Amino acid sequence: MKRAVLLLTAAALAGCTSLDPTYLRPAAPVPLSWPTGDPYLAEAPALPNFTHRDVFRDIRLQTLIAQALVNNRDLRIAAANIAAAREQVRIARAAQLPQVGSSATLDANPRRNPFGGINGVRLSPAINVLPSFELDLFGRLASLTRAEQERLFATGAAERATRVALIGDIADAWLAHAADTSLLAIAEDTVRSAERSRALTEARLRGGVAPRTDLLQAQQVLETARADLAEQRALRAQDANLLQLLVGAPVDSSLLPTSLDQAAGTVAALPAGLDSRILLRRPDVIQSEFELRATNAEIGAARAALFPTISLTGLLGLASDTLTGLFSGGAFNFSAGVRADYSIFSGGARRANVRLRQAEQRAAVATYERTIQTAFREVADALADRSTLVDRVAATRRNAAAANETLRLVTARYREGIDPYLATLDAQRTAYSAQRSLVQVQFTQARNAVTVYRALGGDGI
């Protein structure tokens, strides 16, 4: 009963004071709204919550993302980090509770009775149970527990950041596979066109109406196209390998896109919203703020360490000269005491520790502010890209159409002997480059939606 009263009193006294600085979230060091005017788009004034399914609407891509959320090893690492951080909280919290230890001794005392014990020595066993409890009068242990809790939350935000990055990486790789598939189709078509052009040039050479240099130039175009074809096959295979790594399991070929035109149309653009405070829900910003909160709590723990440490100790013992009397009434004893510890001279280490934690807190504030500024820039850059990409795609599409028509006309004029082969060669190269440029800018436009998804913090909460 005495022990129970003692521990209840200690629990009532513990944690009654906190020396943590009052936490105030730093003001976001960015404008309230995104940049406006050309080249930025006017956006809706608010952003509703969204998920990756609202952005990536192709069921094949959604299936790959779902598989990755189960199998990806980076997510497993992040989950293990959360589990470790949770146990750190429990360890810190355990320090606020009474600690109970035990010890056992075996005393050998000589006796005059030659028939007792071993060789005239009687064995006297003793078992001691030692409870101890630090009175957290200044909140040091509570502050340390809060610091670990904030780091647990920061680890959870880091896991969410990993998840958002993974979804974005899968979408990028899926679109890259689509782009390389389209470029592969262009290379295959160019090889077929170059083979026809070479056959035509060879026929004209045999007819005596074309010089041998035309045939050699046609051969150069053909071999260049064949080299590009081989390269595109390798790139598309590498895209599939990357997807398999990200998903963490074999990828069914039926889930891969067949062309960029088809895949890009399934990626929706999100409104960015005018209020830049939406950045506060980005997982990296959330993680940075929890880290800041943790350093704030550690300042309180360092301040509390300037004061004496007061501990309650108790001794509950059982002792007897004989094993049969070990649990007899006379074998029980109990004692308790209070111990106060304070370092009289520590060379200024404790106050230096407070200043250290304060410096770390200032660094955490700057890190938090820089994270928000970086997030603002990423969103602003993505918006600037979005508005110009519409015009770039339209202009590149018109250029590709004009190049293809030029190639058709020049080829016809060469077949009729009107233009030299050099004009056909230039037209082939121009058309080939224009088609590839169109795929590249379409790919950039599709990836811009992925970039906005990342910059806004992924799935809304």
DSSP string, 80-129: HHHHHHHHHHHHHHHTTSPEEEEEEEEEEEE-S-TTSSBTTEEEEEEEEE
Instruction: Give the Å distances, CA to CA, from 133 to 16, 214, 314, 333, 404.
Output: 15, 95, 9, 20, 84
Q: Does residue 325 lie in a domain region?
A: no
Question: 305 with 346: CB under 8 angstroms?
Answer: no
Token output for 439: 């795929």
Q: Does residue 276 lie in a domain region?
A: yes
Give the pLDDT confidence score for residue 376 in this predicted structure.
84
User: In the chain, which stretches have pLDDT less than 70?
Assistant: 1-17, 24, 28-49, 96-137, 271-277, 305-347, 460-461
Tell me how far apart the alpha carbons of residues 322 and 406 are, in angstroms, rounded to a whole number: 111
**Looking at residue 253, what DSSP letter applies?**
G
Q: Which residues pair with 335 in a beta bridge?
A: 315
Helices (H) and strands (E) in the chain, counts: 10, 4
Cis geometry, peptide bond prior to residue 308 (ω within 30 degrees of 0): no
Q: Does residue 27 lie in a domain region?
A: yes
Looking up residue 160, the CATH number of its domain turns out to be: 1.20.1600.10
At 398-449, the pLDDT tens digits run 999 999 999 899 888 878 778 787 788 888 889 999 999 999 999 999 999 9
pTM for the model stands at 0.74
Strands 309-319 and 121-135 come out as antiparallel
Instruction: Give the Å distances, CA to CA, from 345 to 129, 342, 355.
Output: 33, 9, 18
Token output for 455: 């910059």
Q: Does residue 83 lie in a domain region?
A: yes
Give the pLDDT confidence score for residue 37 in this predicted structure.
46
Beta-carbon-side half-sphere exposure of residue 299 (alpha carbons within 13 Å): 18
Which candidate, 456, 454, 296, places its Cα nearest to that of 288?
296
Token output for 368: 């938090």
User: What domain range includes position 190?
Assistant: 21-96+138-307+352-455
> What percent helix, strand, coil does the chain show, rounded to 5?
65, 10, 25
Token output for 372: 């928000």
What is the number of domains present in the chain?
1
Tell me how far apart the alpha carbons of residues 337 and 314 are, in angstroms, rounded to a whole number: 6
Give the pLDDT confidence score for residue 12 in this predicted structure.
44
Give the pLDDT confidence score for residue 133 in this predicted structure.
59
Q: Does residue 155 lie in a domain region?
A: yes
Q: Does residue 128 lie in a domain region?
A: no
Say how many residues make up the chain. Answer: 461
At 273-282, the pLDDT tens digits run 556 667 777 8
Q: Does residue 423 lie in a domain region?
A: yes
Amino acid at 88: Q
SS3 19: coil
SS3 318: strand
Which candidate, 452, 455, 450, places its Cα nearest to that of 178?
450
At 208-260, the pLDDT tens digits run 777 888 888 888 888 988 999 999 999 999 999 999 999 999 999 999 999 99
Q: Does residue 332 lie in a domain region?
A: no
